[in-house]
Amino acid sequence: MNILLIAGGWSSEREVSLAGSNVVHDALIRLGHNVTRHDPAFSLAGLAEAVAGKDFAFINLHGSPGEDGLIQAMLERLACPYQGAGPAASMLALNKAAAKVFFTAAGLPTPEGLLLNRLPATDWQPSLRYPLFIKATTGGSSLHMEQVSEQGQLYPALERLFASGPSYLVESAVDGEEISCGVLGNLRGNDEIAEALPPVLIRPSTGKVFDYASKYAPGGAEEICPPPLSPELTERIRNMALTAHRVLGISGYSRSDFILRNAQEPVLLEINTLPGMTPTSLLPQEAAAAGISFEQLVCRLIDLGMARHRR
């Protein structure tokens, strides 16, 4: 197949996108595909020309313009198949405040949160218990995020963050170990059946928070897959990841992130529709634990994307 590999973009996660695209590129070559790269940061208008003559587009973007659904919407108008969630599901998943609405309606436990669309007054006091996490509403990779332990730290943190973005979600911190659980589709006839992968237990080596350095630096965290959890708890986490995937209408694959409160209560933080594909990324590790090699994972995503396009 002639495949257009779309990576880069203009979000703060651009470098992560480019690093992952090198791994995906090599896998596509090993699978026998012809690969052309396209970076929308340099030529969004050139996407139409770039997809001409291509059989498939593999998206490896993080943040805008990939996780917000923009590239997916353009590819659909250009009749080019691609892997993963469609425009609406991508937009809902990227916006943490919007996703929280659907998680709560589905009965999924998620931290209490408040949406801020502008910098509040200096004496603003949230109706949430400290400590708090303040995170970009549409960000990822733990960028533009701060932890606040008391009222005196709140406004300075908000000032710093609002200098970099327009909206933030303030959440009560949940104490516990971090768990990630991927969902991967499988074709049965003409139907796509979503199946949860083995979860990963994450223990950052640099501190309690799984931050940017922990996620992407070699040795930044100990990642245990499958985790040393009871079968009942593991199944509960997997079912919650499946519910989150389905309630937002995601297809192909996703990765849900949890905090394990009191070592037994999974609390859903967010869901990612374009999981990382770097050597240290979580979803490829989970797939490997399920007996799916990186090349098989890429191949399945292409098959799922082609089937969705045909439907």
* All structural domains of the chain with their residue ranges: 2-82, 91-109+175-310, 113-172
Give the separation between CA 225 and CA 207, rounded to whole angstroms.
20
Give the separation between CA 287 and CA 297, rounded to whole angstroms.
7
Residues 6+ apart with CB under 8 A from 21: 5, 7, 8, 37, 60, 277
The residue written with tokens 């998680």 in the block is 103
- Supply the pLDDT for residue 141: 46
Would you state the CATH architecture of domain 113-172? 2-Layer Sandwich (3.30)
- What pTM value is reported for the model? 0.90
Weakest-pLDDT range from 12-16, 57-61, 107-111, 150-154: 12-16
pLDDT in tens, 149-199: 999 999 999 999 999 888 999 999 999 999 999 999 999 988 999 999 999
- Supply the pLDDT for residue 306: 97
Nearest to 62 by CA among 205, 255, 238, 192: 255
What does the pLDDT average to over 268-297? 93
- Supply the pLDDT for residue 218: 57
Quick check: 10 pLDDT over 50? Answer: yes
Q: Which CATH number fits domain 2-82: 3.30.560.10, 3.40.50.20, 3.10.129.10, 2.40.30.10?
A: 3.40.50.20
CATH number for region 91-109+175-310: 3.30.470.20
Report the sign of the C-alpha dihedral through residues 113, 224, 215, 273, in that order.
negative
Greater confidence (140 vs 78) lies with: 78
What does the pLDDT average to over 32-50? 96
- Supply the pLDDT for residue 190: 81
- Supply the pLDDT for residue 54: 98
pLDDT in tens, 221-256: 899 999 999 999 999 999 999 999 999 999 999 999
Quick check: 140 pLDDT over 60? Answer: no
Most confident among 11-15, 122-126, 202-206 (mean pLDDT): 122-126
Query: What average pLDDT does the structure give for the chain?
Result: 92
Give the separation between CA 251 and CA 206, rounded to whole angstroms.
34
Listed in order, strand segments (DSSP E) in 85-210 are 113-116, 132-136, 145-148, 168-172, 176-188, 191-196, 200-204
Strand partners, 260: 177, 266
